[in-house]
Each structure stands twice: as structure tokens, then as C-alpha cells.
Structure 1
Amino acid sequence: MNVHVADSGAALKVRGLSVAYGDKPALSSVDAAFQQGRMSAIVGPNGAGKSTLLKAAMGIIPSISGDALFFGRPLDEVRSRIAYVPQRASVDWDFPATVIDVVLMGLYRSLGPFKLIGRGQRALALNCLEEVDMVSLADRQIGQLSGGQQQRVFIARALAQKADLLLLDEPFAGVDAATEKTIITLLKKLVREGGTAVAVHHDLSTVTAYFDDVLVLNVRRIANGPVDKAFTEEHLAEAYGGRLVQPEPELA
């Protein structure tokens, strides 16, 4: 049985998406839809293509075939409505930037070329840092923070963009319980206010509590739809090869 959510009103829809690293398939003709106003998880074993799906949809890595639509339109037409939070492992934490610098980076696209950050933008950035309880560290170098603090800063940057869709790659990986609670509370608030969140997620034990919808993936789509229909023992066994063990965070 292959549950697949209807794509009407999708914030993100991928169609026939295929990606390979060398001669190794990473995604094989994946169709999936993530509905507006919902919290969606992407789950699957290591090497399933979870992070790859987000990166290919965003054009960060090339795809062999297929495409992605955001709110029914190509990425370039709606890029300002989308915020992407990468894995912490993929970020250069030695980059000489302060916490507030990183948050302000989320505003550059909306400012346009040759516009300078003003008092209003700085106030917005500080307000977003307040939401993740990081305003007291606004002038700290980003590399001096703990893993959980770094993730809070990236969530604050996404909030500053005031995006309609947040794409998050392993947002809870390697963070403390307090940070995880802060992040999920903010995401649920975003969704209640009409936003959409899609997260690569590795902790199967929290899927039901955190998310409305799920894509179960292992190179190909196993199931995609509401958690109560798609997140089943049958689909998980198919994705994880019958071994329902807790996977480690994916690094690629």
C-alpha cells in the first residue's frame, strides 16, 4: 500500500525527482507533496535521500530528472517566501560573524542590492533572537556557541525572513532538550499562524507528537500523507528493511 497525499494546496511538491552521487542513486523518481499550514517530517534510514530531497528541491545540488514547485510556482519566482535551515554539520562555524550578523543575513535578499542594514532591521533581528532566548549572546562569535545555541540562531535567522515555508534539515540533531522544545514550540506557532514547516527528522519516537504529515523515504517514496495513515509499522518496516532501529542523523 502506497499512501500519497493529494497535492492540492501544496507548499512544496516534487515530481519525479531523481538524484545520484556518481553512479549511486540517492533519489529515484520521487513524487511527494507537503501541504500548506502543516508540519511535515521526512523520515528514513541513513542514505535514504532525506537531506538530498531538500537540497535538490532548493537547487543546492543538481537533479538528474524531475522538478520542484513551491506554492505551485518555480523556486525563482517565490524564493523570498522560503527559508532554508541547513544541517549544523554543513556550516563553517569558524566564519568570523557574530550571532546578530547571522540573523541579519536572512534579511539581505528582502533589502535588495546596495541597501544597508538599518535600525529597523536590527530591531527585527533582536526580536527574533529574543524568541529563541539568544538575545543576550547577540554579539558573541557564532563559533563560540554550543550546538544547541547555534541551531537557535539559525532558527532566528529563518524567523527574520518572515518566510511562508521553512525547510529544516535535521533541526533537532545534536541539540539539548530545552532547544528542541523551543524549536518545536516556534514551529507549531508558525504553522498556527498559517505558515508551513518541512523537516528532515531522525527521531521516530517524536513524529506523532510533533508532525501532522510525513514522507517515509528510502531512495524512493514509501508513503506520503497524514501521520495516522503514512507513519505505520508496515511502511517503516519497508523503509528500514524490517529493522525499526533509531537511525543516526544523516550527514549528507
Structure 2
Amino acid sequence: MSVELASNLGVVPGAEETNNSPLVVRGMTVSYGQKPVVFSVDMTVQEGAMTAIIGPNGAGKSTLLKAALGIVRPLAGHALVFGKSLKHQRHRIAYVPQRASVDWDFPTRVIDVVLMGLYRELGLLRRVRQVHLDKVTACLERVGMVDFADRQIGQLSGGQQQRVFLARALAQGADLYLLDEPFAGVDAATEKAIISVLKGLREEGKTVVAVHHDLSTVHEYFDRVFMINTRKIAEGSVAAAFTSENLDKAYGGRLATGQIDQLALTAS
């Protein structure tokens, strides 16, 4: 049930650099079959900000995130976390996968899922003490799920399941939070609860990166944008990068001109 981050990140010897940004991607290329899904992409995530990775369906948004985490193996390129390779920085990252990628029939309780976020503290013997249960309770309270602690995970709604996975990420006490489509298929109340928690993390100095699909909420939810359509289209503050020109490059033909202009206007 837990999501393990692969150790092989494709980091070349001597790849460490002076850039200590939470996440730096350089020259990342990923291919499924003969066609690259992500091609020679560079990205630098700003510390203490909320960044949306946006682009049309099939643009490589989730693939880029997974390649940066070593979940999928890149053909070329590397990623660094706070200036070092992933194997040295695992404890500083929390990852929330797409809800659709999880086996929700696995027989486990909500409390057990969130305890997985404490696996480094629990160790191999997994001796759960009161201090661990207190942490889990605090994380569940933060996402509004404390009353469901003993519920089987498969009995929850989609929005409730997403909240539980966010609680598991909170339990890790990470510095960098990476989320893959956290608002997909959830109700309005859950979306509001999730964005409130994410903004709270930002206020604590944490860094949040989320693959996001709803362009109408980018200006309201995020500080920065990374726009991709196989290749990098734009990167920067929402005001600077979420422009009509960049949206047209990324979504050309998939959004009407009037819609593109209206989206850009709300972000300016």
C-alpha cells in the first residue's frame, strides 16, 4: 500500500550542484516505446512556494514527476533534491500518487495507512507507541478525517481516500510535497480542505508541487506555474508564465482563443 520511491534516479557522477532548490530537473527525457513523453526538460522548483505542473492530457506532467522521483527510469537527465541525489534526501520528500493508481481493495484501516508515513520512525520492528498514534491523530484532524481512523480504506469515498493519503504525507514531516492530480475526482468540500492544508504547509515554509488540470483555479491556488507539452513551455510566477501566448503554445487547438484570453486575464 505504501508508495516507495525508487533509488535509481539516473543521477550522473558529480551531478550535485550549488543549486539547493527543493527540486532541480536537468535534461529529463522519458520515452514509452519510440515516442518521447518528456523531452529534454529542465525545471527548478522555488522553495516555500506552491507550483502547479500544467499541460494538456498526455503532455508528460505525471511522467515528469515520476521521473524526478525515480519511479520511472529516464532515458536521459537527472534530478536533485535540495542539491543532492534522491538517495540522500528521501526523508525530505512526501509523495501523494494519483488516487486511481492505488489498490483500494487492500484490507487496511485509515489509521494504518497514515502510520505508513512514520515508517522511518517505526523501523523494521514497527513498534507503534502512543507518540506515533498522537502524530497520526493530529494529521487526520488536519485533513478532517479523525472520525474515520478505524474505517477500512476501501469503504471511503474518493475524496475521503485522497484526504487520508494527504494525511499520510503530512505524517512524514517532509520539506517537499509532490502531489499527482490531488484534486482529480474529489468533491468541492475535499478540494477546499486539501488546498487549505497545502497553503498551510506553504506558510510553514514547506514547498508544494502538484500536477494540476483545472486551469480556472491556477491563479487562486498556486504561486508558480510549470507548463509542459512534452517539452517545457514556460516556468515562473503565475502572472509571468500563465499568459495567452504560453497557453496557446501548450494547448494550441484544445482551448478556444477566448477561453485562453480569459484564463490569462484572471492570472494577470
Instruction: Output the TM-score relative to the length of structure 1.
Output: 0.92
Residue number in structure 2 paired with 1:249: none
Determine whether 1:73 maps to 2:84: yes
For 1:91-130, list aligned pairs within 5 A: 91-130=102-141
Residue identity matched to 2:98:
Q
1:19 and 1:38 map into 2 onto residues whose CA distance is 26
Q: 1:24 to 1:235 in 2, by over 3 A?
A: same
Cα distance in structure 2, aligned partners of 1:188 and 1:133: 15
1:9 shift after superposition? 4.7
Which of 240, 244, 259 is equivalent to 1:233?
Answer: 244
* Residues 1:193 and 2:219 are matched in the alignment: no
> How many aligned positions are there?
240
- Residue from 175, 184, 195 that aligns with 2:195: 184
Name the aligned partner's letter for residue 77 of structure 1. Answer: H
Deviations along 1:24-56, whole A, 9 cap, x unmatched?
211000001111100000000011000001111
Residues of 2 paired with 1:179 and 1:115: CA distance? 31
Q: Does the alignment pair 1:30 with 2:41? A: yes
- Partner SS, residue 123 of structure 1: helix
Q: Deviations over 1:37-85 (max 9, x none)?
A: 0000000001100000111111111100000011111111010110000
1:242 to partner: Cα distance: 3.6
Give the aligned partner of residue 142 of structure 2: 131
Letter in 1 for 2:111: I
d(CA) in 2 for partners of 1:80, 1:177: 32
**Range with bigger deviation, 148-157 or 110-119:** 110-119
Which protein, 1 or 2, shows the higher relative CO under an 8 Å CA cutoff with sep ≥ 6?
1
Q: 1:144 aligns with which of 152, 155, 158?
A: 155
Preserved CA contact (<8 Å) 1:236 1:242:
no
CA RMSD of aligned residues (A): 1.3
Q: How far 1:194 sits from its partner (Å)?
A: 0.6
Identical aligned pairs, as a percentage?
65
> In structure 1, what is the Cα distance between the partners aligned to 2:226 and 2:121?
31
| Paired residue secondary structure (1:10) | coil
1-side partners of 2:37 and 2:49: how far apart? 26
Alignment gaps of 5+ in structure 1? 1-6, 247-252
| Cα displacement string for residues 130-187 of structure 1 (whole angstroms, at most 9, x for unaligned residues) | 1111111101110110000000000100111111010000000000111111111111
| Distance in 2 of aligned mates of 1:199 and 1:110 | 26
Change (3 A) 1:15 1:145: same
**Cα distance, 1:115 vs. partner?**
4.0
* Structure 1 residue 18 corresponds to structure 2 residue 29: yes
Q: Which letter does structure 1 place at the counterpart of 2:132?
A: Q
Amino acid at match of 2:207: T
Note if 1:204 corresponds to 2:185: no
The answer for the alignment partner of 2:176 in structure 1 is 165
Task: Specify the SS of the correspondent of 1:106.
Answer: helix
User: Would you say the 8 A contact 1:15–1:66 is kept in 2?
Assistant: yes
Structure-1 residue corresponding to 2:62: 51
Q: Equivalent of 1:216, from 216, 227, 236?
A: 227
Counterpart in the other structure of 2:8: none
2:54–2:211: 8 Å Cα contact kept in structure 1?
A: yes
Deviation string 1:80-118 (CA, Å, 9 cap, x unpaired) is 110000000000000011001000011112333334121
Return the alpha-carbon distance in structure 1 between the equivalents of residues 146 and 222 of structure 2.
Answer: 28
Instruction: Give the TM-score taking structure 2 as reference length.
Output: 0.87
SS at match of 1:107: helix
